[in-house]
Chains A and B, each alone.
Chain A
Amino acid sequence: MVQVTSPAFKRNAAAALEDAGLQKALGKAKGAFLQRRAAAVAALPEFETLRDTGRDIKNHTLANLDFYLETYAANVERAGGQVHWCSTAADARAAVLDICRKAGARTVTKGKSMISEEIGVNDHLEAHGIQPVETDLGEYIIQLRHEHPSHIIAPAFHLNREDWEAQFRLSHTDLPKDRVFNERRDILAEARTRLRQKFLAADVGITGANFLIAETGSSVIVTNEGNGDLTQTLPRVHIVLASIEKVVPTLEDCTSLLRLLARSATGQDFSVYTTFSTGVRRPEDLDGPEEYHVVLIDNGRSNMMGTDFQEMLRCIRCAACMNHCPVYGAVGGHAYGWVYPGPMGSVLTPTLVGVDKAGHLPNASTFCGKCESVCPVKIPLPKLMRHWREREFERHLSPQGIRSNLALWAWFARRPSAYRLATRLGIRALSALSRGKGAFRWLPFAGGWTEGRDLPAPEPGGTFMARYQARQKEARR
């Protein structure tokens, strides 16, 4: 299970900034995501309108969530599937283990799923003697490295090609020494060969869901590797892990959101594989599972309903916010210290693990607003991060030093005459300190700033207000 290291965000970030390998990976991968999305959006004139549509579909669904969840569950059951309603992560883990045990499972293949990370399924299965095998290429290497994803759609965002090769040579002990891994396709071929056996041997396949469709009882996954399809069609039992906000009313709603998802995520018009699964194999079907289970997970979502954070439940996990975030781009995903990084994680993590542990995350943003401007369902991420800062401030969780400085500044800012006097004196002192130089290389109490950059000195001649008033007086003479 992912340990929460969010309280150590600053330390994590400092280490990340010094990690040359990570910085190389971040630079490369980020550029590609940005360019592809920009091109895809430019090629679709109605993209902005589609964002409104996406937001409206999600808002409507959330406003009627109970209805759509019940409709969805009824339709799953009509198609021969079972729905397991789980309030907590522990309930969900228990439900998955129970299904696997009843199926007599020894190995379980898995498609990429962030909710699986959130509830910690892998460790739970392993602790009970069942081997989970990640089949998404990025997840596969992450699992070999005993790491967690650093990005919600590109789990191995933090790795370079050399890291893949090194890990394969370490984990696949039978690899001939002369095997070359010069290109991406060499890596793919190696992973594919290993995974093929796993797909065939698996007793249960677990996938996530990008959407659940109420009117049909279908779950939908998108992948670019086809691993999800092999995961869910080959084994006898298919388990879908999904949180409750994944439900949408109709197939048509789903396709609108799919058009947004692929473009926002990878800049594709459509992902390579988009797969709809509905219930168990029917007599006339060529393939499909004999058992179809949906583990439907709340884990804190319903607490967000009716609060400022309800808007976050629109999220379709495209990762555009983190791809475009300059803070994520500087420190990568692991620094955020839990499952969901970047702007969406900075809003979601405090909800799910507590603002006392994750208070850094909504603070580590310049509020540049880029995330909101690219969000396919128009989640006002900066506004929601600010709400967290308000909660933190109300509960006296923000650092005492910052609170004291803020209180002192506020005292003066509320009293214009006192403020005028204090700033006049303060600026005079600062000007004197600068001794005619244009900038400070170091200044007490500004150590953080002056570590990496100079602090420009105030323009000589006093504050604007002082000079303006003197000018007015002069003019009246």
Chain B
Amino acid sequence: MTPPRPRVALFVTCLVDLYRPSVGFAALKLLEEAGCEVVVPDTQTCCGQPAYNSGDRATATDLARAVVDAFFPYDYTVAPSGSCAGQIAHHYPSLFADDPFYRGKAEALGAKTHELTSFLTDVLGLTSVTARYDGIATYHDSCSGLRELGVKAQPRALLSTVEGLALKEMAEPEICCGFGGTFCVKYPDISNRMVGDKAKDVAATGADTLLAGDLGCLLNMAGKLKREGSAVKVRHVAEVLAGVTGDVAPIGEAR
């Protein structure tokens, strides 16, 4: 008897929903190929970080409650973003300090919520993917995934099995790119300086492709590289792992 397939709820993330649907479809493909039954709860909007990080706790709590209700029934929740997965896994329980019922539910949901590459490797035990990408890539470690969820080796391990792809590290892959959600809107000149430093680090590697696991950082870095006339192609790691790079132009590029 084959064990039942794990039921995975995909948390698409608002940025992927609006800006880069291919990342959502790539995640779907990777999860299904790894043997999961994937569900996309249709009431999802946003994990609530913009409110949470702006001090609007009431809105953040309302949105968290909706996510908890929608995603709680499944075996796992997976997001193609360390930032949103971190919000659900680490921060939701603290929003329900005075609400034992939801706190318990949020803690349980948090324990089964994962960033995509970490879920594939740490939970499903996936060690390789079937994909081809011809190029030299450098990988930016997005802050929340790295520091809240320990996502560092997982994407690199999977990328090392992509045919035709070589990885070349930046001098400082762990330094923040300056996106920071609302930070880039409130303090655009500081944010611009930070992403400028990141672009220099990317350029110094000689890589032709920049990958990361969070769309916010990717939009920021792609925008800067584009403005500077760089030819570096920017993509979400899921696109490369799922082998769908032929279907969609790099971020910020026209087809």
Contact = CB atoms under 8 A, between A and B. Distances in A.
B44 interface: yes
B176 A326 contact: yes
A460 B247 CA distance: 11
Contact of B180 (A365, A392, A427): A365
Interface string B58-88: 0100110010000000000000000000000
A141 B227 CA distance: 41
A420 to B, nearest CB: 8
B19 to A, nearest CB: 5
Given A410-B51, A416-B44, A468-B24, A456 B188 contact: no
Interface string B39-63: 0101111101011111111010011
B183 A365 contact: yes
A406 B56 contact: yes
Interface string A34-47: 00000000000000
B224 interface: yes
Contact of B187 (A13, A367, A419, A468): A13
Contacts of A17: 189-190, 193
A416 B14 CA distance: 12
A402 B186 contact: yes
B69 to A, nearest CB: 12
Interface in A448-474: 448-449, 451-465, 467-469
Interface in A214-236: none
A366 B186 contact: no
B45 A412 contact: yes
A436 interface: yes
A76 B223 CA distance: 61
A409 interface: yes
Q: Is the interface of B mostly helix, strand, loop or mixed?
A: helix
Most buried by A among B22, B190, B193, B222: B190
Interface in B181-222: 181-197, 219-220, 222
Contacts of B143: 366-370
Interface stretch (A124-132, A312-320, A383-391): A383-391
B55 A439 contact: no
B223 A416 contact: no
Contact of A386 (B25, B52, B59, B220): B52
A326 B252 contact: no
B99 to A, nearest CB: 17
B63 A414 contact: yes
Nearest to B23: A464
Contact of A453 (B52, B223, B249): B223
A467 B21 contact: yes
Contact of A456 (B24, B176, B189, B226): B226
Contact of B179 (A364, A366, A436): A366
B190 A416 contact: no
Nearest to A364: B187
B178 interface: yes
B54 A13 contact: no
Contacts of B40: 465, 468
Most buried by A among B24, B52, B174, B227: B227
B231 to A, nearest CB: 13
A452 B224 contact: yes
A386 to B, nearest CB: 7
B175 A459 contact: no
Interface string B243-255: 0000011011111
Nearest to B148: A369
Given A373-B147, A456-B226, A467-B21, A406 B187 contact: no
Interface string A331-370: 1000000000000000000000000000000011111111
Nearest to B199: A453
Contact of A455 (B20, B55, B223): B223
A273 interface: no
A366 B18 contact: no
A406 B59 contact: yes
Contact of A326 (B42, B181, B194): B194
B12 interface: yes
A351 to B, nearest CB: 16
Contacts of A330: 190, 193-194
A389 B53 contact: yes
A274 interface: no
A439 B193 contact: no
Contacts of B56: 393, 406, 410
A354 B87 CA distance: 29
A92 to B, nearest CB: 33
A334 B102 CA distance: 44
Nearest to B57: A390
A464 B197 CA distance: 32
Contacts of B174: 370
B17 A448 contact: no
A409 B182 CA distance: 13
B55 A394 contact: yes
Contacts of B254: 436-438
B223 A367 contact: no
Contacts of A449: 184-185, 188, 223
A414 B219 contact: no
Contacts of A412: 45
B18 A455 contact: no
Interface string A403-431: 00010011011101001000100110000
Contacts of B147: 368-370, 372-373
B192 A326 contact: no
A10 interface: yes
A454 B253 CA distance: 11
Contact of A13 (B176, B189, B197): B189
A258 B196 CA distance: 37
A17 B179 CA distance: 17
Given A366-B194, A413-B59, 20 more contacts: A366-B143, A366-B179, A368-B176, A373-B147, A389-B55, A393-B54, A406-B50, A406-B56, A414-B45, A439-B252, A448-B189, A453-B226, A454-B224, A455-B223, A456-B222, A458-B18, A458-B19, A459-B248, A460-B255, A463-B21
19 contacts: A326-B178, A326-B194, A327-B187, A364-B183, A364-B186, A366-B194, A369-B147, A388-B55, A389-B53, A413-B45, A423-B18, A451-B189, A454-B222, A456-B222, A463-B21, A464-B12, A464-B16, A465-B42, A468-B24
| 6 closest residue pairs by CB, A with B | A366-B180, A448-B188, A393-B55, A389-B55, A452-B192, A368-B176
